[in-house]
Structures are given as structure tokens and as C-alpha cells.
Amino acid sequence: VRAQEIQLHSEHISDAAAELRFQAILDSADARDVTLRWTFAPQNFAGAVQTIEQRRSLAQGSQTLGGLVEVRDPQLWWTHDMGHPNLYQVTLEVLCDGQVSDRQVFNYGIRTFRMQNWIAYLNDVRLFIKGNNYGPGDTRIATMTREAFDRDLRLAQECHMNMLRVHAHVDHPAFYDAADAAGILLWQDFPLHWLYRREILPEARRQAVQMVRLLNNHPSVA
């Protein structure tokens, strides 16, 4: 069984527990029962490692599974001006007959974000947004490094900004990791701006879905 894609979304948060809804695309060579083993390990704070196991039945071929995972005593992700951007290292292992068939590892921050009457709420706490546009850090995006992105985000922090608008582009993957760690929210644009022929609409829709799936697990992308 191969784990192709894992998506997490913070559904409900309390002091005692956080309910995370997941969607996982798995590709199985044959019909079989598997165990999904989730591990939530503190990545930038002190805390206990939590492991959750779930039994599932798979059909042959590619399929999408969904469900809930509960994390006890959740340490929430905050912007740098409201708290600490707590991150978990999440590992999903797919076990077949007790052996790991495949695994996915990524960082994740537990948080909720909503806009109501153009007022932002982070973890149900009112947030006053202070920010700016962020074009590519270099005209050649591939030349940017994590250190360069950390420098740009540190400058934003020193200007008391808590959100950047990623203007008309999808940036280097290291940028989103850096924003997660820095506690800076991102307003992510879709690359296509202004006027285009109607014929590009199907392709634009395909790319928009891919962009959401690519960036969904980053707590910085609000």
C-alpha cells in the first residue's frame, strides 16, 4: 500500500483535545486490512509524543479515506505577536501485517482561522492583521534558500507584521516551512491575475485544486 497524499484540518479545539479531520489517498496492490498509525511529536516545543492507531479495510487500487484523529492537550499554533507557533511533526505509517508499507512525514500546526465581517479570528481570538505584499524573494525563485526566507520573515516580524500576501505566485516550498516556524500568516494568491481568455478556465480550476492540496497542511496559509 502506498500513501500518496495526506491532508489534515483542525475541526474542533478545546483545552483537553483537538479533533483533526484527515483525508488520505492510498493506493493498494490488493484488497486488504491495514493499520493507520499516526504519530504526533512536538517539533519546536516540549511535550509528549502521541500515537493513534486505526484499522481500515482497503479495496484494490487508489482510494480516498477520511476520518478523525484526536490529539490530547493540544499546543496551538499562534502568530508570533500572539504566542508561539507550536508545530507537531506528524507521521502517518500504513502497516500491512504489522510491517510498515509506506509513511508520510510533515509538520503541522493545530489552529483555526476564520473571517467574520472582515474581522479575523485566530483560534477564536480576535486578530488585528498587520502586513504587506510579498513578491518572490528573488527573481529566480529556485535560488532562494531557507536562510534567505528566514531573513525576510525576521524583517517582517521586526516591522510588527503578522501576515504577508504571497502576491500572484506560489513560492518555493522552503518559504512555507519558514512562515510556519516564524508565526507569520500568509494570504496566498492564485498565480493567474487580471484578464485571461475563457478557454483557460478548466486548466485554472485544475491548478487551483492542486495549489490548495499542495499548501493545505501549512498552518501559516490562512
Cell of 53: 492507531
- H-only helix segments in the chain: 146-158, 173-182, 201-215
The pLDDT assigned to 145 comes to 96
**Residue 134 and residue 66: Cα distance in Å, rounded?**
35
The pLDDT assigned to 192 comes to 85
Asked whether the beta carbons of 77 and 44 are under 8 A apart, the reply is: no
The pLDDT assigned to 15 comes to 94
The pLDDT assigned to 195 comes to 87
Total Cβ atoms within 10 A of residue 9: 12
How many contiguous H segments (helices) and E segments (strands) does the chain have?
3, 13
Helix (H, G, I), strand (E, B) or coil at 156: helix
The pLDDT assigned to 194 comes to 83
**Residue 49 and residue 72: Cα distance in Å, rounded?**
10
Closest CA to 173 of 152, 142, 212: 142
Q: What are the residue ranges in the chain where pLDDT is below 50?
A: none
The pLDDT assigned to 109 comes to 98
pLDDT in tens, 53-105: 999 999 999 999 999 999 999 999 999 999 999 999 999 999 999 999 999 99
Angle between helices 146-158 and 173-182 (to 10 degrees): 40
Burial class (CB in 10 A: 0-12, 13-18, 19+), 127: buried
Helix (H, G, I), strand (E, B) or coil at 142: helix
The pLDDT assigned to 173 comes to 94
The pLDDT assigned to 156 comes to 97
